[in-house]
């Protein structure tokens, strides 16, 4: 029901139906039809525009994330047997082949599960922990929960030297703190905080939120930096100047969700203001859409792919602003939500073969004819569709309960 | 003097003046004016469009290559004191700060010379060997020659496991042979073959030429693959399917130069035919220019920057086809040479501030407002201008000496 308290008369809230429909009748069926490897276990993620498999290597970020996605659907949407089976296909493959001797997860395996790329990447462990935590909940499998917890503790240990012996940096030469590590830790807590002691989860989450807002948020611009000196300020180096607007929005919605869950609702207004700053800063005034990488001092960005439009950036932006709108009911948040929605539906969604293109050029045309590869899998898009639909629903419910929406 | 034996009446040969002029009155002055770090030694390579320094880190590929460039100009164009001094500025910096304990060169240093990035990259050693070899010749400095030779032996030792302890690949999991290692080895021999025993240099060069033509050249398509299985054929993996046309042209002109120098002129026709195949295969029929990365099976390329137009690709293409034309006097080679020349002068050359843009989008517009960064330095462009001018001159001389040009 539209109410006058919603700036657009409820039209955005109506998009929750669009998102659920896209999730359940397009995106999830696409991956269920094309991705399971029923012969060797796990998933194919290198899928062309129509869903045909063009490479069979198994990248463990994507294997673990897809476990999470299907287990999460099972846990929170509907306990469908086929979803649980799909999650199990990946969880079993990861449990059988994923771990090196030290318990860390390899970065890539062959189709059959032979190790290809060493366990050099701490994020692989993080995604594995999330996948097993969510799957353990779905399958009521204590062994999966145990893997999740053990991998979480490994993640914590690796945090101070994430790449360990694989690091190419000279230790201590240029100590910068990483936003990505904060983001993934927040993500871990949101997914598996209930498996930890409540005080541990809460204290860790609150420290991370404060860290994001006090160390990574540029006080003048309100946007987030990817790497900051331990002592504060901006490091005038390639890494220190780097701005990744989509990443900024992703960490901000995670911080918002954590703030709500662990009693730091007072931080929400600043988190939302930061989202607005990031979107304003990263928006491509020439061609529309959010740019991929920028340099905070306006120098040439390090990445030659800086002007690409990336699927995950838009998924995270839609989710960030649907949540921002839910919490503020501000027309500005709603306008940004609509802007990202409109760009995405005009450019990323493939009405002919389903799912989203992964990569567009600056002008908004697909530059790779694919729906999945070694980086794009079944994760950002379904997560954003599901959680945005929920935020829009809550927002709509809230506006009926409390038409004045004075903000919290 | 134009002669009738030249398909374009000598117009291409006339471009040698254009190239020498660009080299001596634009490109080299640009780097001499903006790049020397007279305070700390070495060179700044992160230069914006007008030449202003925007980052001061020192990437050793680029430090060593610039030493080579200025020493090479001194050795082969004119013994100008300022060129030798510029070469020395980098050589002294590298000798003082560049090497780790094991003798390998770091990948990056701070402006002052403190190590930032470990000596994980075998190509750094290769470029360092070339830089010191050429500088030793210029300065008649036996210590520099000794560093060059010691580093060459280190390169040879590292070849079987180029990344050593920094490798993320699981040993033996997917053994592929690398074209890049063959190319850099050919390059080393061309630069410092005279410092080795003649038989060693010749035998190594001939083995590398044969390797390129028999293992890396796709028999059906005539183009080069970047990574091939030891047993031959195409590995249907991301790495195995990768085609890098600019890299192909670079290795082909090096093989051609080596074939001429070490008595394998019989290989030249096939090398030139391969150049034509590569250019034909990699040319962007939609927007012109050579694409950066392709997949030999027509699958989506791994790199999201696959459609960029890269400065070094065009420098190497101009050089490859000026040499191909010199050796064959074929109108087809001349036409490709002109095509690359015209594209480059229309899109890469910056008539306002000098030098070349580094990176264009697919449509040919500059996408980073810079002349140098952590990858683009003073190397591909001056080398191509100088060596192409020479090839065009020889071609012109040859056509006067031997108007029928029956090929060799």
Q: Give me the pLDDT at residue A404, please.
A: 35
Which residues in chain A are contacts of B110 at CB distance < 8 A?
Answer: 173-174
CA of A297 vs chain B CAs: smallest distance (Å): 10
- The token pair at B138 is 């210029």
Residue A22 falls inside a structural domain? no
Nearest to A168 among B118, B304, B305 (CB): B118
SS3 (DSSP) at B26 = helix
Check B373 against A173: CB less than 8 A apart.
no
Nearest CA in chain A to B115: A170
- Best mutation target, A57, A300, A308, A370, to test chain B (most B CBs within 10 A): A300
Residue B170 with chain A: CB contacts under 8 Å: 106, 115-118
**B300 chain-A contacts, CB cut-off 8 A:** 48, 54, 368-370, 373
pLDDT single digits (tens) B313-343? 999 999 999 999 999 999 999 999 999 999 9
Q: DSSP letters along B33-44, please?
A: HHSB-TTTSSB-
Average pLDDT over residues B75-85: 98
Contact between chains at B174 and A116 (C-beta distance less than 8 A): yes
Give the Å distances, CA to CA, from B374 to A273, A302, B48, B126, B270: 35, 8, 12, 17, 35
Determine the residue of chain B that is closest to A46 in CA distance: B300
Q: Give me the residue from A54, A168, A361 closest to B117, CB to CB.
A: A168
Q: Is residue A290 part of a domain?
A: yes
State whether B170 and A367 contact (CB < 8 Å): no
For chain A, how many structural domains are there in total?
1
User: Which residue does chain B place closest to A164, by CA atoms?
Assistant: B166
- Measure CA B215 to chain center: 21
Which residues on chain B are in Cβ contact (under 8 Å) with A308?
A: 304
| pLDDT confidence of residue A11 | 74
Nearest CB among B300, B368, B373 relative to A370 is that of B300
**B159 in a structural domain:** yes
Whether A237 sits inside 8 A of B359 (CB atoms) is: no
What average pLDDT does this structure show over B153-167?
A: 93
- CA distance linking residue B319 with residue B254, whole number of Å: 10
Cα A257 to the chain's mean position, in Å? 13
Which tokens in the block code for residue B23? 């080299």
d(CA A297, CA A286): 20
CB contact (8 A) between residue A120 and residue B168:
yes
Q: Among A37-41, A195-199, B396-400, which is the least confidently predicted range?
A: B396-400
Instruction: Please give the distance of CA A183 from its chain centroid, rounded to a whole number.
Output: 9
Both tokens assigned to B164 = 């050593």
Task: With beta carbons less than 8 A apart as the criterion, state whether A327 and A339 touch.
Answer: no
Identify any residues that bridge with B109 across adjacent strands, giving them in sequence order: B58, B115
A167 → chain B, closest CA residue = B166
d(CA B321, CA B271): 11
Q: Which of B166, B174, B362 sits opposite A168 (nearest CB)?
A: B166
How many A-B residue pairs are in contact by the CB < 8 A criterion? 102
Alpha-helical regions (H) of B119-263: 122-139, 142-158, 179-192, 198-211, 238-241, 245-261
pLDDT at B44 over 80: yes
Is residue A269 domain-resident? yes
Once rounded to an integer, what is the mean pLDDT over residues A339-361?
98
> Using one digit for the tens of pLDDT, what is the confidence trace for A199-229?
999 999 999 999 999 999 999 999 999 999 9
Cα atoms in the Cβ-side hemisphere of radius 13 Å centred on A42? 27
Calculate the alpha carbon distances from B46 to B92, B160, B349, B371 in Å. 20, 33, 18, 8
Please state the rounded mean pLDDT for residues B181-188. Answer: 98
* Chain B: closest CA distance from residue A115 (Å): 6
What integer pLDDT is reported at residue B186 of this predicted model? 98
Do A368 and B304 count as a contact with CB atoms less than 8 A apart?
Answer: yes
Which chain B residues touch A361 with a CB distance below 8 Å? 307, 361-362
Instruction: List beta partners, residue B252.
Output: none
Using CA atoms, how far apart are residues A189 and A285, in angstroms rounded to an integer? 36
- Three-class secondary structure of residue A166 per DSSP: helix
Of B120, B302, B368, the CB nearest to A304: B368
Q: Are B43 and B357 in contact (CB under 8 A)?
A: no
**Is the Cβ pair A361, B166 closer than 8 Å?**
no
**CB–CB of A120 and B169 under 8 A?**
no
Above 90 in pLDDT, residue A337? yes
A367 CB neighbours in chain B (<8 A) are 304, 306-307, 362
Domain contains A30 = no
What residues make up the domain containing B91? 52-165
Instruction: Indicate the helix (H) or strand (E) that contains A317.
Output: helix A311-328
Radius of gyration over every alpha carbon of chain A, rounded to an integer in angstroms: 20
Please give, rounded to a whole number of angstroms, the shortest distance from the CA of B120 to a CA of chain A. 7
For the stretch A88-108, pLDDT in tens is 999 999 999 999 999 999 999
What is the average pLDDT score of chain A? 94
Q: Out of A167-181, A183-197, A310-324, which region has the weakest mean confidence (pLDDT)?
A: A167-181
Chain A residues with CB under 8 Å of B167 CB are 118
B58 in helix, strand or coil? strand
Q: How confident is the model at residue A14 (pLDDT cuts 50, 70, 90)?
A: confident
Measured CA to CA, the distance from residue A94 to residue B251 in angstroms comes to 41
Tell which residue, B28, B141, B136, B23, has the closest CA to residue B82: B28
pLDDT beyond 70 at A151: yes
Interface of B with A (CB under 8 A): 48, 54-55, 57, 106-107, 110, 114-118, 120, 165-170, 173-174, 236-238, 299-302, 304-308, 359, 361-362, 367-370, 373-374
User: Inter-chain contact A118–B238, Cβ cutoff 8 Å?
Assistant: no
Token pair recorded at residue A380:
């950002």
User: Within a domain: residue A92?
Assistant: no
For residue A236, is pLDDT > 50?
yes
In total, chain A counts a number of residues equal to 408
Cβ separation B361–A307 shorter than 8 A: yes
The Cα–Cα gap between A333 and A340 comes to 11
Tokens 């639909």, located at residue: A389
What digits encode the pLDDT tens for the residues B198-231?
999 999 999 999 999 999 999 999 999 999 998 8
What phi-psi label fits residue B329: left (phi over 0), alpha (psi between -120 and 50 degrees) or beta? left
pLDDT digits (tens, 9 = 90+) for A271-314: 999 999 999 999 999 999 999 999 999 999 999 999 999 999 99
Chain A CA closest to residue B119: A168
Q: Is residue B197 part of a domain?
A: no
Given a cut of 70, is residue B19 above it in pLDDT? yes
Distance CA B104, CA B106 (A): 7
Who among A165, A368, A369 is closest to B165 (CB)? A165
The residue ranking higher by pLDDT, B370 or B4, is: B370
Q: How far apart are CA A58 and CA A39, in angstroms?
A: 14
With a cut of 60, say whether residue B402 has pLDDT above it: no
- B173 and A115: CB-CB below 8 Å? yes
Interface residue of A45, A55, A287 to substitute, partner B, most B CBs within 10 Å: A55
Contact across the interface for A367 and B304, Cβ inside 8 Å: yes
In angstroms, rounded to a whole number, what is the distance separating the alpha carbons of residues A224 and A177?
12
Residue A231: band (very low, low, confident or very high) from pLDDT cuts 50, 70, 90: confident
B8 pLDDT tier (thresholds 50, 70, 90) = confident
The residues with which A55 forms a beta bridge, in sequence order, are A46
Kindly report the nearest CA distance between residue A341 and chain B, in angstroms: 23
Q: Are A70 and A131 spatial neighbours (Cβ–Cβ below 8 Å)?
A: no
Out of A54, A106, A304, name the one closest to residue B305 (CB).
A304
* Average pLDDT rounded to a whole number, residues A328-354: 97
Measure B306 CA to nearest chain A CA, in Å. Answer: 9
Q: What is the pLDDT of residue B27?
A: 98
Residue A362 lies in a domain: no
- The residue among B99, B109, B170, B171 with the most chain A CBs within 10 A of its CB, best to mutate, is B170
Residue of A48, A119, A298, A304 to mutate, testing the B interface (most B Cβ within 10 Å of its Cβ): A304
| Residue A399 pLDDT class (50, 70, 90 cuts) | low
Q: Do A238 and B57 touch (CB under 8 A)?
A: yes
Question: In this structure, what token pair is assigned to residue B344?
Answer: 């480059």
Contact A118 B168 (CB under 8 A): yes
Q: Cα(B323)–Cα(B253) distance, rounded to whole angstroms?
A: 7
* Residue linked to tokens 């680029």: B62
Beta carbons of A308 and B308 less than 8 Å apart: no
CA-based nearest residue to A300, from A241, A216, A368: A241
d(CA B96, CA A151): 44
Residue B247 in contact with residue B226, Cβ under 8 Å?
A: yes
CA angle A372, B238, A168 (to 5 degrees): 100
pLDDT band at B5 (very low <50, low <70, confident <90, very high): low
DSSP type of residue A301: P
CB contact under 8 A, B165 and A170: no
CB contact under 8 A, A169 and B117: yes
- Residues on chain A touching B60 (C-beta within 8 angstroms): none
């Amino acid at each position: 029901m539209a109410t006058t308290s919603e700036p657009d008369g409820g039209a955005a809230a109506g998009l929750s139906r669009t998102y659920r429909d896209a999730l359940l009748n397009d995106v999830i069926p696409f991956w269920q039809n094309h991705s399971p490897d029923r012969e060797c276990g796990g998933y194919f993620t290198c899928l062309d525009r129509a869903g045909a498999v063009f490479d069979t290597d198994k990248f463990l970020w994507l294997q673990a994330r897809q476990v999470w996605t299907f287990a999460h659907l099972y846990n929170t949407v509907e306990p469908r047997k086929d979803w649980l089976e799909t999650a199990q296909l990946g969880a079993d493959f990861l449990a059988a082949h994923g771990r090196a001797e030290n318990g860390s997860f390899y970065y890539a395996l062959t189709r059959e599960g032979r190790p290809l790329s060493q366990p050099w990447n701490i994020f692989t462990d993080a995604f594995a922990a999330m996948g097993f935590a969510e799957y353990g909940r779905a399958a009521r499998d204590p062994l999966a929960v145990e893997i999740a917890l053990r991998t979480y503790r490994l993640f914590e240990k690796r945090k101070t030297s994430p790449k360990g012996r694989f690091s190419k940096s000279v230790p201590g030469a240029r100590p910068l703190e990483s936003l990505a590590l904060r983001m993934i830790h927040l993500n871990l807590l949101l997914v598996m905080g209930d498996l930890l002691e409540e005080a541990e989860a809460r204290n860790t989450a609150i420290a991370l939120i404060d860290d994001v807002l006090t160390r990574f948020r540029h006080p003048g611009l309100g946007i987030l930096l990817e790497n900051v000196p331990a002592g504060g300020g901006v490091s005038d180096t390639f890494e220190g100047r780097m701005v990744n607007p989509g990443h900024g929005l992703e960490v901000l919605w995670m911080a918002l969700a954590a703030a709500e869950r662990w009693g730091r609702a007072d931080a929400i207004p600043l988190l939302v203001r930061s989202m607005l700053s990031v979107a304003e800063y990263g928006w491509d005034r020439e061609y529309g859409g959010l740019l991929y990488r920028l340099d905070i001092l306006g120098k040439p960005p390090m990445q030659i792919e800086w002007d690409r439009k990336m699927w995950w950036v838009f998924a995270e932006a839609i989710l960030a602003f649907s949540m921002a709108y839910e919490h503020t009911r501000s027309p500005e948040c709603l306008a940004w939500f609509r802007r990202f929605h409109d760009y995405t539906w005009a450019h990323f969604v493939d009405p002919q073969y389903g799912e989203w293109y992964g990569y567009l050029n600056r002008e908004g045309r697909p530059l790779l004819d694919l729906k999945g590869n070694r980086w794009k899998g079944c994760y950002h898009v379904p997560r954003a569709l599901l959680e945005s639909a929920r935020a829009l629903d809550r927002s709509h419910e809230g506006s009926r309960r409390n038409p004045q929406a004075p903000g919290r």
